Structure 1
Amino acid sequence: MAHTVNIVNAFVDGDQGGNPAGVVLEADALSAQEKQRIAQLVGLSETAFVSRSQVAGVKLEFFTPTRQIAHCGHATIAAFALLAQRGLVRGPESSKETIDGLRRIVLRGEAAFMEQLAPSYVDEADFAPGVSGARILASLGLDPAQVAAPPCVVGTGNRFVLVHLRTEALLAGLAPDMAEIAAVSVAFGAIGYYVFATTGGEFAASARMFAPHYGIEEEAATGMAAGPLACYLHDRLGVSQPRLLIRQGAWMSPPSPSRIVVELQFDDAGRIEGLYAGGAARLASTVSLM
């Protein structure tokens, strides 16, 4: 039986860039083994499988080429943008059921935004045994003088190791040790590293994402990492805007610049109580797999 896989570029910047995700509609009859096989054949960082849900707008399951994961930002945006463009979901709101619970989705034209949770932080004093800031920097080919702050772990649903570089130019010169990055990520229960530098223009920060433990050496846009980064910018660096733009993918080879929008939500005391991360998506192609 042939399976149609839609290749959708999520977090595009205009008509360019973005992060491609596979989207398989009407996946109810597929087993977990079949979904994993399809994701491996597609070969993209994530493929989303869309099924019917009794508790949400749709059920979404996410597979990298090597394993299933609980959430994926760009594949969520890709799936809901495609569903909206085909009239299969209608705005302004929907929701997704995942193996890790329910999340709200906001639809705005060709853009989709996904709900994330309030941030949690782990600093070096509470790092996992055998992991240190120095080890994290060494796994990127960095020395302490090149970072603006010690690495920390931030999560808003998924966890990421955040590394704050002093300059944007340093992003291009990283020398990632993928085996070490994978080992450190496993120690933290993190998806991977989100390495960033603040910028002085339209974007609040520019970032690179490494997640080799999940079969992703580098990807062009990571909505689930942009959320933790926006929280870090607010809570640790005093960035006051509730709406932040994150650029990713510009330092990849070849480049695929992506535009991720994060909108922070605050409680009465001014603390972040949740957020939405999203952007626009475009259908790039379709493939048929047996």
Structure 2
Amino acid sequence: MENVQAYLVNAFTADGIGGNPAGVVLHADSLSNQQKLAIAKEVGFSETAFVCQDNEVDFAVSFFTVTDEVDFCGHATLAAFSTMYAQGLISEGQYIQRTKAGLLGVYVDATGHVVMEQRLPEFKGVFDSELIAPLIGLEAERLASTNLPIEVVSTGLSDLIVAVPHGSLDSLVVDESRLVAFCKEHNVVGLHAFELCNQQLSVTAHCRNFAPLFGISEESATGSSTGALASYLTKHFDGIETQFLFEQGRAMGCISRLSASIKLQGQTITQVKVGGFAKQFDTQTIHV
């Protein structure tokens, strides 16, 4: 038996509160995937990050939900690098992490703000409102009234990006069994719904994320989906600013704040970054 310490960290906090909890296990080189999954189940959060050494880049980071390994997790990446910074294992600067989604850059500044690079977006197809509306408890005509496409976008994980009419975001009712079936059929992680804000506000959109296929009924901050949404907005709105601020978790009473930036060359997206702050709130010792 081995005692493993997991740091419990809220990622994408707003002024030090809120955020989405993630587990972080440092020095995880000796752990098997089976042990990592057992630890993630014991921690019980939507994702736990495991940080290992790497022979070619700075770190190798793997991500486990309570049910399975996933290729990438934005809020757990933020939690991991924030924890390493707080523990004095890294200092201000640029790092490279090896993930199943590829080699991705992470920058930590002197305030502890973490900005992570994501994969360039893949736009994987659109769906009719008639198919998607029953998944979230809206009438098809009301969902279609946004005049925005329902599209699968990936910057590391494939998310169904769904614009909903203003005033309807908090009242969505997800049919989890239907959404699980949809995600399995179309190889999608979950559904990321958003409601655009008034242009005079600093926040671009309020968001909700549902991934019941991976045991996540709803989570209050989703970094991978933030990159996908920023890419989606850049694609579908000519001349839109390429700096975004999203809030997520309002319907859960746990508001998180996520920033995103897109770099363009002509009409081509050449870089996607997502950033935020994290705060440790506890540790947990787990026997494996």
**Structure 1 length-normalised TM:** 0.93
1:122 maps to which residue?
Answer: 124
Tell me, in whole angstroms, the C-alpha distance in 2 between the residues paired with 1:139 and 1:275.
Answer: 29
SS of the residue aligned with 1:217? Answer: strand
1:178 maps to which residue?
Answer: 176
Deviation of the 1:191 alpha carbon: 1.2
Deviation of the 1:2 alpha carbon: 1.5
Residue ranges of structure 1 left out of the alignment (5+ in a row): none
Kindly provide the CA deviation profile for residues 233-267 of structure 1, in whole angstroms up to 9, marking residues without a partner as x: 12113362121001101112xx1100001011112
Contact 2:101-2:119 at 8 Å conserved across structures = no
Deviation of the 1:98 alpha carbon: 1.3
Contact 1:136-1:184 at 8 Å conserved across structures = no
2:232 maps to which residue?
Answer: 232
Residue type of the alignment partner of 1:100:
A
Deviation of the 1:136 alpha carbon: 1.5
Alignment of 1:93-132 (within 5 A): 93-108=94-109, 109-124=111-126, 132=128
SS of the residue aligned with 2:168? Answer: helix
1:241 maps to which residue?
Answer: 241
2:137 maps to which residue?
Answer: 141
Residue type of the alignment partner of 1:10:
A
Tell me, in whole angstroms, the C-alpha distance in 2 between the residues paired with 1:163 and 1:175.
Answer: 14
Contact 1:39-1:46 at 8 Å conserved across structures = yes
Alignment of 1:61-210 (within 5 A): 61-108=62-109, 109-124=111-126, 132-147=128-143, 148=146, 149-167=148-166, 169-200=167-198, 201-210=201-210
The equivalent position to 2:256 in structure 1, one of 255, 258, 283, is 258
Residues 133 and 186 (structure 1), Cα distance of their counterparts in 2 relative to 1, 3 Å cut: farther
| Alignment pair present for 1:46 and 2:42 | no
Tell me, in whole angstroms, the C-alpha distance in 2 between the residues paired with 1:117 and 1:239.
Answer: 22
Deviation of the 1:90 alpha carbon: 2.4
Contact 1:55-1:97 at 8 Å conserved across structures = no
Contact 2:48-2:64 at 8 Å conserved across structures = yes
Deviation of the 1:270 alpha carbon: 3.6
Tell me, in whole angstroms, the C-alpha distance in 2 between the residues paired with 1:144 and 1:134.
Answer: 5
2:286 maps to which residue?
Answer: 289
Deviation of the 1:170 alpha carbon: 0.6
Kindly provide the CA deviation profile for residues 38-80 of structure 1, in whole angstroms up to 9, marking residues without a partner as x: 1011110000011111122111110000000000000000000
Deviation of the 1:152 alpha carbon: 1.2
Deviation of the 1:106 alpha carbon: 1.1
Q: Which runs of 4+ in 1 moved over 4 A?
A: none
Tell me, in whole angstroms, the C-alpha distance in 2 between the residues paired with 1:85 and 1:54.
Answer: 24
Deviation of the 1:83 alpha carbon: 0.6
Deviation of the 1:188 alpha carbon: 2.3
Deviation of the 1:187 alpha carbon: 2.1
Tell me, in whole angstroms, the C-alpha distance in 1 between the residues paired with 2:272 and 2:210.
Answer: 23
Give the stretch that moved more between structures: 241-250 or 87-96. 87-96
Tell me, in whole angstroms, the C-alpha distance in 2 between the residues paired with 1:150 and 1:93.
Answer: 36
SS of the residue aligned with 2:28? Answer: coil
Contact 2:71-2:100 at 8 Å conserved across structures = yes
Residue type of the alignment partner of 2:245:
L
Tell me, in whole angstroms, the C-alpha distance in 1 between the residues paired with 2:254 and 2:18.
Answer: 4
Give the stretch that moved more between structures: 1-10 or 65-74. 1-10
Residue ranges of structure 2 left out of the alignment (5+ in a row): none
Give the stretch that moved more between structures: 192-201 or 228-237. 228-237
Contact 1:233-1:239 at 8 Å conserved across structures = no
Tell me, in whole angstroms, the C-alpha distance in 1 between the residues paired with 2:19 and 2:191.
Answer: 19
Residue type of the alignment partner of 2:119:
L
Identity across aligned pairs (percent)? Answer: 34
Contact 1:3-1:289 at 8 Å conserved across structures = yes
Kindly provide the CA deviation profile for residues 208-247 of structure 1, in whole angstroms up to 9, marking residues without a partner as x: 0000111111001001001111111121133621210011
SS of the residue aligned with 2:174? Answer: coil
SS of the residue aligned with 1:38? Answer: helix
Residue type of the alignment partner of 1:165:
V
Give the stretch that moved more between structures: 195-204 or 237-246. 237-246
Deviation of the 1:150 alpha carbon: 3.7
